Amino acid sequence: MTSSRIAGRVRRIKQSPSSAAAERASELRRQGKDIVNLVVGEPDFDTPAHIRQAACAAIERGETRYTPTAGTPALRNAIAAKLARENNLVYDASDIITTCGAKHAIFNALAITVEAGDEVLVPAPYWVSYPDMVMACDGTPVIVACTEADGFKLTPALLSAAITARTKWLIINSPSNPTGAAYTLAEYRALADVLARHPQVMIMTDDIYEHIRFDGASTPHLLNAAPELRKRTLVINGVSKTYAMTGWRIGYAAGPSDLIAALDILQSQSTSNPSSVSQAAALAALTGDQSFIADFAAVYRQRRDRGLALLNAIPGLSCRTPGGAFYLFVNCGGLLGRKTPQGQSLESDIDVVMYFLESTGVALVAGSAYGVSPYFRMSIATGIEVIEEGCRRMAQAVAALT
Protein backbone atom coordinates (compact mmCIF):
# COMPACT_ATOMS: atom_id res chain seq x y z
CA MET A 1 0.00 0.00 0.00
CA THR A 2 1.63 3.22 -1.14
CA SER A 3 1.34 6.42 0.84
CA SER A 4 1.22 8.53 -2.31
CA ARG A 5 -2.05 10.22 -3.17
CA ILE A 6 -1.13 10.04 -6.85
CA ALA A 7 -2.35 7.04 -8.85
CA GLY A 8 0.21 4.57 -10.10
CA ARG A 9 -0.69 5.22 -13.75
CA VAL A 10 0.50 8.81 -13.28
CA ARG A 11 3.49 8.03 -11.04
CA ARG A 12 4.97 5.72 -13.66
CA ILE A 13 5.09 8.39 -16.36
CA LYS A 14 7.26 11.49 -16.62
CA GLN A 15 6.92 15.01 -17.90
CA SER A 16 7.50 15.33 -21.63
CA PRO A 17 11.30 15.78 -22.05
CA SER A 18 10.85 18.26 -24.88
CA SER A 19 8.46 20.34 -22.77
CA ALA A 20 10.89 20.17 -19.86
CA ALA A 21 13.76 21.30 -22.07
CA ALA A 22 11.71 24.19 -23.46
CA GLU A 23 10.74 25.28 -19.95
CA ARG A 24 14.39 25.09 -18.82
CA ALA A 25 15.46 27.29 -21.74
CA SER A 26 12.73 29.79 -20.91
CA GLU A 27 13.74 29.80 -17.24
CA LEU A 28 17.37 30.54 -18.11
CA ARG A 29 16.24 33.38 -20.37
CA ARG A 30 14.19 34.84 -17.52
CA GLN A 31 17.36 34.74 -15.45
CA GLY A 32 18.99 36.97 -18.04
CA LYS A 33 21.08 34.32 -19.78
CA ASP A 34 21.64 34.49 -23.52
CA ILE A 35 19.95 31.32 -24.80
CA VAL A 36 19.66 30.06 -28.36
CA ASN A 37 16.53 27.93 -28.14
CA LEU A 38 16.60 25.06 -30.63
CA VAL A 39 14.12 22.96 -28.66
CA VAL A 40 10.63 24.10 -29.56
CA GLY A 41 8.73 21.86 -31.96
CA GLU A 42 6.19 24.28 -33.38
CA PRO A 43 6.09 26.55 -36.42
CA ASP A 44 7.45 30.03 -35.82
CA PHE A 45 5.07 31.44 -38.42
CA ASP A 46 1.90 33.26 -37.41
CA THR A 47 -1.39 31.52 -38.09
CA PRO A 48 -2.40 32.81 -41.56
CA ALA A 49 -4.62 35.88 -41.54
CA HIS A 50 -7.68 34.30 -43.17
CA ILE A 51 -7.76 31.64 -40.45
CA ARG A 52 -7.48 34.20 -37.67
CA GLN A 53 -10.21 36.28 -39.29
CA ALA A 54 -12.51 33.25 -39.49
CA ALA A 55 -12.13 32.76 -35.74
CA CYS A 56 -12.97 36.40 -35.06
CA ALA A 57 -16.01 36.18 -37.33
CA ALA A 58 -17.20 33.06 -35.50
CA ILE A 59 -17.00 34.91 -32.19
CA GLU A 60 -19.01 37.80 -33.62
CA ARG A 61 -21.63 35.33 -34.88
CA GLY A 62 -21.96 33.96 -31.37
CA GLU A 63 -20.38 30.57 -32.14
CA THR A 64 -19.09 30.31 -28.59
CA ARG A 65 -21.28 27.54 -27.23
CA TYR A 66 -21.04 23.78 -27.01
CA THR A 67 -20.82 21.86 -30.25
CA PRO A 68 -21.44 18.14 -30.72
CA THR A 69 -18.77 16.21 -28.82
CA ALA A 70 -17.21 14.92 -32.05
CA GLY A 71 -17.11 18.40 -33.57
CA THR A 72 -19.32 20.49 -35.81
CA PRO A 73 -20.78 18.76 -38.87
CA ALA A 74 -19.13 21.39 -41.07
CA LEU A 75 -15.65 20.65 -39.72
CA ARG A 76 -16.06 16.88 -39.85
CA ASN A 77 -17.25 17.15 -43.46
CA ALA A 78 -14.25 19.34 -44.24
CA ILE A 79 -11.92 16.75 -42.71
CA ALA A 80 -13.58 14.02 -44.78
CA ALA A 81 -13.10 16.14 -47.91
CA LYS A 82 -9.47 16.78 -47.03
CA LEU A 83 -8.76 13.07 -46.55
CA ALA A 84 -10.36 12.25 -49.89
CA ARG A 85 -8.68 15.12 -51.74
CA GLU A 86 -5.18 14.88 -50.34
CA ASN A 87 -4.83 11.30 -49.13
CA ASN A 88 -7.21 9.33 -51.36
CA LEU A 89 -8.93 8.07 -48.20
CA VAL A 90 -12.72 8.05 -48.21
CA TYR A 91 -14.42 8.39 -44.83
CA ASP A 92 -17.92 9.30 -43.79
CA ALA A 93 -18.09 12.31 -41.48
CA SER A 94 -19.66 9.95 -38.94
CA ASP A 95 -16.35 8.03 -38.84
CA ILE A 96 -14.39 11.15 -37.87
CA ILE A 97 -13.97 12.81 -34.49
CA THR A 98 -12.31 16.13 -33.74
CA THR A 99 -10.17 16.36 -30.61
CA CYS A 100 -8.20 18.84 -28.54
CA GLY A 101 -5.10 18.35 -30.67
CA ALA A 102 -3.67 15.22 -32.30
CA LYS A 103 -2.04 14.33 -28.98
CA HIS A 104 -5.50 14.10 -27.43
CA ALA A 105 -6.64 11.78 -30.22
CA ILE A 106 -3.66 9.46 -29.69
CA PHE A 107 -4.10 9.33 -25.93
CA ASN A 108 -7.83 8.68 -26.15
CA ALA A 109 -7.31 5.97 -28.77
CA LEU A 110 -4.99 4.17 -26.38
CA ALA A 111 -7.36 4.77 -23.47
CA ILE A 112 -10.34 3.11 -25.21
CA THR A 113 -8.40 0.04 -26.34
CA VAL A 114 -5.39 -0.74 -24.16
CA GLU A 115 -5.63 -2.84 -21.02
CA ALA A 116 -3.06 -4.27 -18.61
CA GLY A 117 -0.85 -6.74 -20.46
CA ASP A 118 -1.41 -5.20 -23.88
CA GLU A 119 1.69 -4.20 -25.83
CA VAL A 120 2.08 -1.22 -28.14
CA LEU A 121 4.92 -1.21 -30.66
CA VAL A 122 6.76 2.11 -30.72
CA PRO A 123 9.51 2.41 -33.34
CA ALA A 124 12.45 4.44 -32.04
CA PRO A 125 13.46 7.18 -32.42
CA TYR A 126 9.94 8.07 -31.29
CA TRP A 127 8.01 11.16 -30.35
CA VAL A 128 8.63 11.49 -26.64
CA SER A 129 5.00 11.08 -25.55
CA TYR A 130 4.15 7.73 -27.14
CA PRO A 131 5.64 5.40 -24.48
CA ASP A 132 4.34 7.39 -21.55
CA MET A 133 0.83 7.60 -22.99
CA VAL A 134 0.87 3.82 -23.36
CA MET A 135 1.95 3.40 -19.73
CA ALA A 136 -0.66 5.89 -18.55
CA CYS A 137 -3.26 3.62 -20.13
CA ASP A 138 -1.88 0.53 -18.32
CA GLY A 139 -0.20 -0.85 -21.44
CA THR A 140 3.39 -1.86 -22.10
CA PRO A 141 5.34 0.12 -24.69
CA VAL A 142 7.61 -2.16 -26.72
CA ILE A 143 10.39 -0.03 -28.13
CA VAL A 144 11.65 -1.19 -31.53
CA ALA A 145 15.04 0.38 -32.19
CA CYS A 146 15.44 1.52 -35.80
CA THR A 147 18.99 2.25 -36.90
CA GLU A 148 20.46 5.21 -38.69
CA ALA A 149 21.69 2.78 -41.35
CA ASP A 150 18.03 1.93 -42.08
CA GLY A 151 17.09 5.60 -42.24
CA PHE A 152 15.58 5.38 -38.74
CA LYS A 153 12.67 3.45 -40.28
CA LEU A 154 10.95 0.26 -39.17
CA THR A 155 11.87 -2.74 -41.32
CA PRO A 156 9.73 -5.84 -41.90
CA ALA A 157 12.26 -7.96 -40.01
CA LEU A 158 12.17 -5.69 -36.96
CA LEU A 159 8.39 -5.56 -37.03
CA SER A 160 8.03 -9.33 -37.34
CA ALA A 161 10.40 -9.93 -34.44
CA ALA A 162 8.58 -7.45 -32.17
CA ILE A 163 5.00 -8.68 -32.61
CA THR A 164 3.64 -11.04 -29.96
CA ALA A 165 0.21 -12.40 -29.11
CA ARG A 166 -0.16 -9.40 -26.75
CA THR A 167 0.51 -6.73 -29.40
CA LYS A 168 -2.47 -4.37 -29.60
CA TRP A 169 -1.14 -1.43 -31.64
CA LEU A 170 1.67 -0.34 -33.94
CA ILE A 171 2.26 3.43 -34.04
CA ILE A 172 3.72 4.88 -37.24
CA ASN A 173 4.73 8.56 -37.53
CA SER A 174 5.72 9.75 -41.03
CA PRO A 175 7.43 12.13 -41.58
CA SER A 176 8.66 11.55 -38.09
CA ASN A 177 9.55 13.55 -35.05
CA PRO A 178 12.51 13.61 -34.33
CA THR A 179 14.27 12.25 -37.44
CA GLY A 180 12.17 13.48 -40.36
CA ALA A 181 12.17 9.94 -41.76
CA ALA A 182 9.36 9.37 -44.28
CA TYR A 183 8.10 6.00 -45.49
CA THR A 184 7.59 5.16 -49.16
CA LEU A 185 4.67 3.20 -50.57
CA ALA A 186 6.97 0.21 -51.10
CA GLU A 187 8.15 0.33 -47.49
CA TYR A 188 4.55 0.50 -46.29
CA ARG A 189 3.62 -2.45 -48.49
CA ALA A 190 6.45 -4.51 -47.00
CA LEU A 191 5.27 -3.71 -43.48
CA ALA A 192 1.68 -4.53 -44.45
CA ASP A 193 2.77 -7.99 -45.60
CA VAL A 194 3.99 -8.64 -42.06
CA LEU A 195 0.85 -7.19 -40.48
CA ALA A 196 -1.28 -9.45 -42.67
CA ARG A 197 -0.03 -12.39 -40.60
CA HIS A 198 -1.12 -10.73 -37.33
CA PRO A 199 -4.78 -9.65 -37.60
CA GLN A 200 -4.96 -8.68 -33.92
CA VAL A 201 -2.59 -5.74 -34.43
CA MET A 202 -4.19 -2.34 -35.00
CA ILE A 203 -2.24 0.47 -36.63
CA MET A 204 -2.24 4.12 -35.61
CA THR A 205 -0.82 6.52 -38.20
CA ASP A 206 0.33 9.87 -36.82
CA ASP A 207 0.31 12.06 -39.93
CA ILE A 208 0.77 15.45 -38.27
CA TYR A 209 3.85 16.38 -40.36
CA GLU A 210 2.50 15.17 -43.70
CA HIS A 211 2.81 18.56 -45.44
CA ILE A 212 6.25 19.40 -44.14
CA ARG A 213 8.46 17.47 -46.54
CA PHE A 214 11.27 18.60 -48.76
CA ASP A 215 11.04 16.70 -52.03
CA GLY A 216 7.93 18.46 -53.31
CA ALA A 217 5.96 15.21 -53.36
CA SER A 218 2.84 14.37 -51.40
CA THR A 219 3.21 12.06 -48.42
CA PRO A 220 1.93 8.55 -49.15
CA HIS A 221 -0.29 6.89 -46.58
CA LEU A 222 -0.12 3.34 -45.29
CA LEU A 223 -3.69 2.79 -46.49
CA ASN A 224 -2.73 3.81 -50.02
CA ALA A 225 -0.30 0.89 -50.06
CA ALA A 226 -2.47 -1.50 -48.07
CA PRO A 227 -6.19 -0.63 -48.22
CA GLU A 228 -6.98 -4.03 -46.71
CA LEU A 229 -5.73 -2.68 -43.36
CA ARG A 230 -8.46 -0.02 -43.23
CA LYS A 231 -10.65 -1.89 -40.73
CA ARG A 232 -7.85 -1.90 -38.18
CA THR A 233 -6.20 1.47 -38.87
CA LEU A 234 -6.85 4.74 -37.05
CA VAL A 235 -5.73 7.84 -38.95
CA ILE A 236 -4.54 10.67 -36.68
CA ASN A 237 -3.90 14.21 -37.87
CA GLY A 238 -4.54 17.84 -37.01
CA VAL A 239 -4.01 21.43 -38.06
CA SER A 240 -1.19 22.34 -35.66
CA LYS A 241 1.95 21.88 -37.76
CA THR A 242 0.71 22.46 -41.30
CA TYR A 243 -1.25 25.63 -40.53
CA ALA A 244 0.86 27.04 -37.66
CA MET A 245 -2.04 26.48 -35.26
CA THR A 246 -0.42 24.68 -32.31
CA GLY A 247 -2.22 26.77 -29.71
CA TRP A 248 -5.64 26.33 -31.29
CA ARG A 249 -5.66 22.64 -30.22
CA ILE A 250 -7.55 20.92 -33.01
CA GLY A 251 -6.75 17.36 -34.02
CA TYR A 252 -8.83 14.56 -35.42
CA ALA A 253 -9.11 10.82 -35.88
CA ALA A 254 -10.72 8.87 -38.71
CA GLY A 255 -11.27 5.16 -38.61
CA PRO A 256 -13.51 2.19 -37.91
CA SER A 257 -16.92 3.13 -36.55
CA ASP A 258 -16.56 1.18 -33.30
CA LEU A 259 -13.37 3.05 -32.41
CA ILE A 260 -14.84 6.44 -33.31
CA ALA A 261 -17.98 5.70 -31.26
CA ALA A 262 -15.86 4.75 -28.24
CA LEU A 263 -13.72 7.87 -28.67
CA ASP A 264 -16.92 9.95 -28.72
CA ILE A 265 -18.12 8.36 -25.46
CA LEU A 266 -14.80 8.91 -23.69
CA GLN A 267 -14.54 12.48 -24.92
CA SER A 268 -18.11 13.20 -23.83
CA GLN A 269 -17.08 12.33 -20.27
CA SER A 270 -13.75 14.17 -20.30
CA THR A 271 -13.18 17.28 -22.40
CA SER A 272 -16.44 17.30 -24.37
CA ASN A 273 -16.06 19.19 -27.65
CA PRO A 274 -12.90 21.04 -28.70
CA SER A 275 -13.14 24.83 -28.62
CA SER A 276 -15.94 26.01 -30.88
CA VAL A 277 -13.91 29.02 -32.02
CA SER A 278 -10.90 26.83 -32.81
CA GLN A 279 -13.15 24.55 -34.83
CA ALA A 280 -14.26 27.51 -36.92
CA ALA A 281 -10.62 28.42 -37.50
CA ALA A 282 -9.78 24.82 -38.45
CA LEU A 283 -12.67 24.80 -40.92
CA ALA A 284 -11.23 27.90 -42.60
CA ALA A 285 -7.77 26.28 -42.61
CA LEU A 286 -8.96 23.13 -44.36
CA THR A 287 -11.27 24.82 -46.86
CA GLY A 288 -9.39 28.04 -47.59
CA ASP A 289 -6.24 29.00 -49.47
CA GLN A 290 -3.57 26.28 -49.27
CA SER A 291 -0.81 27.98 -51.27
CA PHE A 292 1.16 29.12 -48.23
CA ILE A 293 1.78 25.49 -47.18
CA ALA A 294 4.35 25.03 -49.95
CA ASP A 295 5.89 28.39 -49.01
CA PHE A 296 6.30 27.25 -45.39
CA ALA A 297 7.89 23.99 -46.54
CA ALA A 298 10.33 25.88 -48.77
CA VAL A 299 11.47 27.99 -45.82
CA TYR A 300 11.94 24.89 -43.68
CA ARG A 301 14.00 23.33 -46.47
CA GLN A 302 16.30 26.36 -46.61
CA ARG A 303 16.77 26.12 -42.87
CA ARG A 304 17.35 22.37 -43.07
CA ASP A 305 20.00 22.75 -45.73
CA ARG A 306 21.81 25.52 -43.88
CA GLY A 307 21.71 23.66 -40.58
CA LEU A 308 22.97 20.45 -42.20
CA ALA A 309 25.90 22.22 -43.83
CA LEU A 310 26.97 23.87 -40.58
CA LEU A 311 26.47 20.83 -38.34
CA ASN A 312 28.23 18.39 -40.65
CA ALA A 313 31.22 20.73 -40.70
CA ILE A 314 31.66 20.36 -36.92
CA PRO A 315 34.11 17.54 -36.09
CA GLY A 316 32.36 14.84 -34.06
CA LEU A 317 28.85 15.70 -35.25
CA SER A 318 26.97 14.28 -38.22
CA CYS A 319 23.39 14.38 -39.43
CA ARG A 320 21.38 12.50 -42.03
CA THR A 321 19.29 14.58 -44.40
CA PRO A 322 15.69 14.43 -43.12
CA GLY A 323 12.88 14.00 -45.62
CA GLY A 324 10.39 16.07 -43.67
CA ALA A 325 9.23 17.62 -40.36
CA PHE A 326 11.31 20.47 -38.92
CA TYR A 327 14.07 18.81 -36.93
CA LEU A 328 17.63 17.67 -37.36
CA PHE A 329 18.52 14.50 -35.46
CA VAL A 330 22.25 14.83 -34.91
CA ASN A 331 24.67 12.00 -34.18
CA CYS A 332 27.03 13.22 -31.46
CA GLY A 333 28.83 9.91 -30.89
CA GLY A 334 32.09 11.50 -32.06
CA LEU A 335 32.13 13.72 -28.95
CA LEU A 336 31.81 10.95 -26.40
CA GLY A 337 34.90 10.37 -24.33
CA ARG A 338 36.20 13.90 -24.86
CA LYS A 339 36.70 16.31 -21.96
CA THR A 340 35.30 19.77 -21.33
CA PRO A 341 37.56 22.66 -20.31
CA GLN A 342 36.46 21.90 -16.74
CA GLY A 343 37.72 18.33 -17.04
CA GLN A 344 34.34 16.60 -17.26
CA SER A 345 34.20 13.63 -19.60
CA LEU A 346 31.26 13.55 -22.02
CA GLU A 347 29.85 10.04 -21.56
CA SER A 348 26.34 10.39 -23.03
CA ASP A 349 24.19 12.54 -25.26
CA ILE A 350 22.73 14.07 -22.09
CA ASP A 351 26.24 15.20 -21.14
CA VAL A 352 26.71 16.69 -24.61
CA VAL A 353 23.42 18.58 -24.49
CA MET A 354 24.10 19.91 -20.99
CA TYR A 355 27.61 20.97 -22.05
CA PHE A 356 26.21 22.96 -24.98
CA LEU A 357 23.59 24.57 -22.73
CA GLU A 358 25.95 25.50 -19.90
CA SER A 359 28.98 26.52 -21.95
CA THR A 360 27.39 28.33 -24.87
CA GLY A 361 23.69 28.72 -24.08
CA VAL A 362 22.42 26.43 -26.85
CA ALA A 363 19.28 24.53 -25.82
CA LEU A 364 18.68 21.11 -27.44
CA VAL A 365 16.99 17.82 -26.50
CA ALA A 366 19.06 14.68 -25.90
CA GLY A 367 18.37 11.75 -28.20
CA SER A 368 17.81 9.47 -25.22
CA ALA A 369 14.48 11.26 -24.77
CA TYR A 370 13.49 9.76 -28.13
CA GLY A 371 14.74 6.28 -27.29
CA VAL A 372 18.02 6.34 -29.22
CA SER A 373 21.53 7.48 -28.23
CA PRO A 374 23.94 9.16 -28.80
CA TYR A 375 22.01 11.87 -30.66
CA PHE A 376 20.33 15.19 -30.03
CA ARG A 377 17.34 16.86 -31.65
CA MET A 378 17.66 20.37 -33.00
CA SER A 379 14.54 22.24 -34.10
CA ILE A 380 14.72 24.25 -37.32
CA ALA A 381 11.32 25.86 -36.67
CA THR A 382 13.12 29.15 -36.04
CA GLY A 383 14.86 31.86 -38.01
CA ILE A 384 17.89 30.91 -40.07
CA GLU A 385 19.98 33.43 -38.17
CA VAL A 386 19.12 31.61 -34.93
CA ILE A 387 20.17 28.30 -36.51
CA GLU A 388 23.44 29.86 -37.66
CA GLU A 389 24.16 31.31 -34.24
CA GLY A 390 23.39 28.03 -32.51
CA CYS A 391 25.70 26.12 -34.84
CA ARG A 392 28.44 28.75 -34.42
CA ARG A 393 28.26 28.36 -30.67
CA MET A 394 28.26 24.56 -30.88
CA ALA A 395 31.33 24.66 -33.12
CA GLN A 396 33.05 26.91 -30.60
CA ALA A 397 32.15 24.57 -27.74
CA VAL A 398 33.39 21.50 -29.63
CA ALA A 399 36.67 23.25 -30.43
CA ALA A 400 37.23 23.72 -26.70
CA LEU A 401 37.03 19.97 -25.98
CA THR A 402 40.15 17.89 -25.50
The pLDDT value given to residue 290: 97
Statement to judge: residues 345 and 212 lie in one domain: no
Residue 393: domain span: 8-46+292-399
Statement to judge: residues 242 and 340 lie in one domain: no
The values of phi and psi at residue 364, to 5°, are -135, 180
Each residue of 269-303: pLDDT tens digit? 999 999 999 999 999 999 999 999 999 999 999 99
Number of domains in the chain: 2
Quick check: is 270 in a domain? Answer: yes
Quick check: is 2 in a domain? Answer: no
User: How many Cβ atoms are within 10 Å of 97's Cβ, its own excluded?
Assistant: 30
Decide which of 253, 287, 321 is a domain's last residue.
287
Quick check: is 1 in a domain? Answer: no
Quick check: is 193 in a domain? Answer: yes
Decide which of 287, 302, 320 is a domain's last residue.
287
Each residue of 222-274: pLDDT tens digit? 999 999 999 999 999 999 999 999 999 999 999 999 999 999 999 999 999 99
DSSP string, 261-301: HHHHHHHHTTT-SPPHHHHHHHHHHHHS--HHHHHHHHHHH
pTM of the model: 0.95
Each residue of 301-345: pLDDT tens digit? 999 999 999 999 999 999 999 999 999 999 999 999 999 999 999
Each residue of 144-182: pLDDT tens digit? 999 999 999 999 999 999 999 999 999 999 999 999 999
Decide which of 247, 264, 287 is a domain's last residue.
287
Quick check: is 21 in a domain? Answer: yes
Task: Give the pLDDT band of residue 2 (cuts 50, 70, 90).
Answer: low
Statement to judge: residues 299 and 180 lie in one domain: no
C-alpha separations of 117 from 2, 114, 299 in Å: 22, 8, 45
The pLDDT value given to residue 1: 58
